[in-house]
């Protein structure tokens, strides 16, 4: 049995893992889906002070206060950034990092620093009251390849997603993230995403036949993969 901590990407909360957690629990794992500040049932706690550092502390605090060790820390999309930084702060509690189509931060840089200027410009056009607005169907269809959403999936996603705090993209990662280099790291590339599957340096590459949100569209397959990685 492993302790598995699940962290969703932009706009998502712990709810996004509801189709995955039963299978992982049935396989004998101790599963902890997290909701970051300003998202999900913690949307009301978001503010201009909600930064990348806030989300890092959400993750480290959840692990420390639950007394978890040998954690398989699973991140999706945006949350690869705070999860990596969190692991660098508490490496003695982490057994493996698993990034699902995730952003991997670089020391001293913000997420906007890692992206083309036109991406930042496009994002900023959607910001209302300090939050990146939830993506429309048109934006998802144009930018996320073969995502595999059914009409019911789309409705579920849009009903429960909330705007994402913009300052999490502006906040820079700590300069030194070297502690994560001692940890096993797996990058799960979703084949439906645009581009060829490529793992960041230091990561094992695994491909999953799914779109960008496999916890929604391929929960059984994702749970089987996470179970296998947790036991490895």
Per-residue confidence (pLDDT) for residue 161, from 0 to 100: 96
Give the pLDDT confidence of 166-176 residue by residue, as tens digits.
999 999 999 99
Question: Does the predicted TM-score (pTM) go above 0.85?
Answer: yes
Instruction: Supply the CATH number for residue 175's domain.
Output: 3.40.50.1820
pLDDT at position 122: 85
Per-residue confidence at 232, pLDDT binned at 50, 70, 90?
confident
Are 149 and 211 in contact by the 8 Å Cβ rule? The answer is: yes
Region 33-60: mean pLDDT is: 96
Virtual torsion, Cα 136, 141, 143, 146, nearest 10 deg: 140
Residue 145 has pLDDT above 90, yes or no: no
Looking at the structure of the chain, the number of domains it has is 1
pLDDT digits (tens, 9 = 90+) for 113-132: 998 888 888 889 899 999 99
* Torsions phi, psi for 5 (to 5 deg): -105, 125
At residue 73, the pLDDT reads 98
Residue 156 structural domain: 3-231
């Amino acid at each position: 049995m492993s302790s598995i901590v699940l962290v969703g990407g932009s706009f998502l909360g712990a709810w996004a893992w509801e189709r995955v957690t039963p299978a992982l629990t049935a396989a004998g794992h101790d599963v902890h889906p997290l909701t970051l500040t300003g998202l999900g049932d913690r949307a009301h706690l978001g503010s201009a002070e909600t930064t990348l550092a806030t989300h890092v502390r959400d993750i480290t605090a959840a692990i420390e206060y639950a007394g978890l060790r040998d954690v398989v820390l699973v991140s999706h999309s945006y949350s690869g950034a705070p999860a990596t930084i969190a692991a660098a702060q508490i490496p003695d509690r982490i057994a493996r990092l698993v990034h699902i189509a995730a952003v991997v931060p670089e020391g001293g840089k913000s997420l906007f620093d890692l992206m083309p200027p036109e991406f930042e410009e496009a994002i900023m056009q959607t910001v209302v009251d300090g939050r990146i607005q939830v993506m429309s169907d048109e934006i998802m269809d144009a930018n996320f390849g073969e995502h595999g959403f059914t009409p019911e999936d789309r409705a579920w996603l849009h009903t429960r997603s909330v705007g994402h705090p913009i300052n999490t993209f502006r906040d820079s990662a700590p300069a030194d993230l070297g502690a994560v280099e001692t940890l096993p790291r797996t990058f799960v590339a979703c084949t439906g995403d645009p581009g060829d599957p490529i793992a960041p340096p230091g990561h094992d590459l695994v491909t999953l036949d799914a779109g960008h949100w496999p916890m929604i569209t391929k929960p059984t397959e994702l749970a089987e993969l996470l179970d296998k990685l947790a036991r490895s």
